[in-house]
Structure 1
Amino acid sequence: MDEIIGRIASAAGIGEDTAKQAVSIILNFLNRDGPSDKVQQIIAALPGAEAYLTEESSGGGLLGSLGGMLGGGMGAMAALNELTNAGLDMEQVQTVTQELVAVAREHAGDETVDEVVNAIPGLNQVL
């Protein structure tokens, strides 16, 4: 994962600690809101990715709770909120997300990644 984090940090112009936090937020969002079997395929294909998952995604506060209750695009909004709270601007959020999706495609394949992206409302807007 160190190489992936370095690649994401470089592409987004952020530090590696911020990139690690962003990757954790995104992977937890996918794990929470995506189709479980496909997300697990992606996580298994990314060496060390499971270390970035938490039992319950941290943060999001009220917005995260509402996202969980309402479903739909709220999950994406809660993840966006967490990413901006981590210090990323909108361009960096988009770059980090695009780079992580590109890495996931390289490791897990286009079909698996497309199924996850298409199953989560609001994710295409960031890509």
Structure 2
Amino acid sequence: MHILVDRIYDKTGLDPEKVKPAVGIILNFIAKNSTQAELEALLNAFPAAEGFLAIDETTENKGLLGGLASKMNASVGVLAALNEMTSLGLSVEEIHKVARETLDYTREKVGPEMTDEIVARVPGLAEIT
């Protein structure tokens, strides 16, 4: 298992089979709303991110908002991401835990300054962490 998934499991006890695709959903949402430089820094500092992004791309969009996310603005996109994660069986509280740990890990890997810029730029990301 990836160190981030293990870390989330150790801190929260959440099922790794739910955490792994949830991290993919979060990272994919960040990737869609970040600059190319931010995305490259994330991928360089966190090589496993590509694997998580691949998980998200193969995850079936479920629920009312899931399929509409790519056609709507980013602020609605966060609702679609939340919807996808609840479709995995995660509660809102559990989603907050996964998002918080993912961003904490990102801060360690790409630095707090760039992570804070990403959080500020991506609509709705601050609200789910």
> Normalized against structure 1, the TM-score is what?
0.87
Between 16-25 and 52-61, report the one with greater CA deviation.
52-61
Aligned sequence identity (%): 35
Runs in 1 of length 4+ with deviation above 4 angstroms? Answer: none
Paired position in structure 2 for 1:108? 110
Between 27-36 and 48-57, report the one with greater CA deviation.
48-57
Q: Structure 1 regions of 5+ residues with no counterpart?
A: none
Paired position in structure 1 for 2:16? 16
Amino acid at match of 1:36: Q
Between 96-105 and 29-38, report the one with greater CA deviation.
29-38
Contact 2:63 2:87 in 1 (8 A): no
1:3-58, Cα deviation, whole Å (9 max, x unpaired): 21100122232122211111111111111222232123112211322111138464
Name which of 84, 87, 101 aligns with 1:82: 84
Amino acid at match of 1:126: I
RMSD (Å), alpha carbons? 2.0
> Normalized against structure 2, the TM-score is what?
0.86
1:68 alignment partner, SS class: helix
Distance in 1, Cα, partners of 2:121 & 2:6: 28
Cα pair distance change 1:65/1:37, threshold 3 Å:
farther
Amino acid at match of 2:5: I
Cα drift, residue 84 of structure 1: 0.5
Between 28-37 and 91-100, report the one with greater CA deviation.
28-37
Q: How many residues align?
A: 127
Contact 2:5 2:19 in 1 (8 A): yes
Cα pair distance change 1:57/1:116, threshold 3 Å:
farther
Paired position in structure 2 for 1:95? 97
